[in-house]
Structure 1
Amino acid sequence: MALFFTSDTHFDDPRVLKIDRRPFPSLAAHDEALIERWNAVVGPADTIWHLGDFARASRPNVEALLARLNGEKHLIIGNNDPETTVTAKGWASTQHYAEMEIDGTLFVICHYPFRTWNKIGKKSVDLHGHSHGKLTPIPRQYDLGVDAWDYRPVTLAEVLAKRRRGSARTTTTAADDAAAAGN
């Protein structure tokens, strides 16, 4: 069993094709591609946390979508998750915020990126969505939206490895980490 994270799938939301310029010819193609990519990495026995903006659809359509997606699904509610999404059958839990400790590290999980968060001075990590890969992160902060991850869920190991490899948008220095730890 593996643990996965994702955000900002925006299933059944036609605005996402224009606003975020996603490379799909139609909303149906977008949704099918995201379902395929989800199920290619997440197995039925895995756990996945969706960090908000899952879908804008009727409750029956959200429930049908959840039934097609692998894994035990937890929802961190986003600003584009209507009641039909939040109350749909198929979620193991729904909440606005969560904290979890993994291998001795505290992970703070919310749809929105924080400027500061619980135990930031003790090396805790902020996992978020909402910014669609457009926000320059601060140390120990990770955007888990599909726009930043080839339209698929990711493991923590993948997220942390990307930061270590470094890219123009996510490179931090030891001085950055030390400055953040002083908060």
Structure 2
Amino acid sequence: MSVFFTSDQHFGDHRRLFIDRRPFASVAEMDEAMAARWNAAVRPEDTVWHLGDLTRLRKPERIDALLSGLNGRKHLIIGNNDGPATLAWPGWQRVSHYAELEVDGRGLVLCHYAFRTWNGSGRGSLNLHGHSHGRLRPMKRQFDVGVDVWDFTPATLDQILARAAMRA
């Protein structure tokens, strides 16, 4: 079983095509591509930590159809664009604004927003975040897991650390 991190799909949001210069001709194409890439990476038994801004959809039945079609056991770290119906989806393993966990012996601090400092930052803990769509200058041990940074695909901690090693 693998653990994945992702954020900022903004499923159903036509504005993301222009604001983030996403390479899709339509919202339908964007949504389909992101769902396909998610399911190509994530198996049903894997864990996914979604760090906010999942969708602009508001109807519970549309949110259920979307999330039920995405592989993995899903946790939500609330983003500024996650509406009440997204938060209320019954399939979430956990819904919170913040989480601390350990993966592969590494301390992680998860939030939709990037931190300047975080619990354990001086002892090697990592901050994973979304919200910035790849526009923030990277800090040591801080990583944007948003889809605009990760080719619209959830990433594992190993993938995140391998990319960090390449930029060092």
> Shorter-chain-normalised TM-score: which range?
over 0.9
Report the Cα offset of residue 56 of structure 1. Answer: 1.3
Task: Extract unaligned runs of 5+ from structure 2.
Answer: none
User: Which residues of 2 match residues 92-107 of structure 1 at below 5 A?
Assistant: 92-107=93-108
Letter in 1 for 2:116: R
- Which residue number corresponds to residue 157 of structure 2? 156
Q: Distance in 2 between matches of 1:91 and 1:162?
A: 29
- Which residue number corresponds to residue 134 of structure 1? 135
Q: Deviations over 1:61-112 (max 9, x none)?
A: 1111011000001110000101111111221111100000223321000000
Q: Does residue 1:19 correspond to 2:19, yes or no?
A: yes
Letter in 2 for 1:164: A
- Which residue number corresponds to residue 117 of structure 1? 118
- Which residue number corresponds to residue 79 of structure 1? 80
SS of aligned partner of 1:130:
coil
Letter in 1 for 2:85: T
Is 11-20 or 24-33 further displaced after alignment? 11-20
- Which residue number corresponds to residue 41 of structure 1? 41
- Identity fraction in percent: 56
Q: Distance in 1 between matches of 2:124 and 2:13?
A: 36
Letter in 2 for 1:84: A
SS of aligned partner of 1:147:
coil
SS of aligned partner of 1:35:
helix
User: Which residues of 2 match residues 56-71 of structure 1 at below 5 A?
Assistant: 56-57=56-57, 58-71=59-72
Q: Distance in 2 between matches of 1:75 and 1:103?
A: 20
Is 102-111 or 27-36 further displaced after alignment? 102-111
SS of aligned partner of 1:12:
coil
Task: Extract unaligned runs of 5+ from structure 1.
Answer: 172-183
Q: Distance in 2 between matches of 1:125 and 1:111?
A: 14
The number of residues matched between the two structures is: 167
Query: Normalising by the residue count of structure 2, what TM-score does the alignment of the two structures yield?
Result: 0.97
Q: Distance in 2 between matches of 1:41 and 1:153?
A: 7
Larger radius of gyration: 1
Task: Extract structure 1 runs of 4+ deviating beyond 2 A.
Answer: 102-105
Report the Cα offset of residue 162 of structure 1. Answer: 0.4
Letter in 2 for 1:12: G
- Which residue number corresponds to residue 6 of structure 1? 6
Query: Normalising by the residue count of structure 1, what TM-score does the alignment of the two structures yield?
Result: 0.89
Q: Deviations over 1:87-142 (max 9, x none)?
A: 11221111100000223321000000001111111111100000101111110000
Is 96-105 or 35-44 further displaced after alignment? 96-105
Q: Distance in 1 between matches of 2:147 and 2:103?
A: 22
Provide the aligned C-alpha RMSD in A: 0.9
